Amino acid sequence: MRIHPLALALCLPALVLPAGTAKAGKRASGPVTSSKEAKAIAEQETGGKAISARRTALNGASGGWEVEVRMPRDTQGWRCMIDADTHLIHSKTRIPQPGGKAKPEPAPRVVKGTR
């Protein structure tokens, strides 16, 4: 039996394509286990830069993550609570800009007397 070259050319991409896209289409399963994952979720939701992430007790056995996000062109940032089971934002709260430099106290004002 002879295989026509055109038929082989049409079947070849169908055999190669699924092998290359298997990882790209894979969705995360299981709980969020690292701060890197939690930060990525918060950054995607808010559009800012995640500064810190820490484990917290949340409404389930696997808990959640509290992530502070700095917004580059805003005066306030976000505190996001991420549910570790569902990979979703549980709540978002506006907070003062995290990770910012504290303003130094102004120098005491000297008032000179008049004659």
- pLDDT (0 to 100) of residue 64: 92
Q: Is 60 helix (H, G, I), strand (E, B) or coil?
A: coil
- Note the pLDDT tens digit of each residue in 55-94: 999 886 788 999 999 998 898 999 999 998 889 999 999 9
pTM more than 0.85: no
Could you write out the DSSP letters of every residue in 43-69?
A: HHHHSSEEEEEEEE--SSTT-EEEEEE
pLDDT single digits (tens) 44-61: 999 999 999 999 998 867
Residue 21's pLDDT band, with cuts at 50, 70 and 90, is: very low
Encoded amino acid at 61, one letter: A
30 Rama class: left (phi>0) / alpha (psi -120 to 50) / beta: left
pLDDT on residue 111: 77
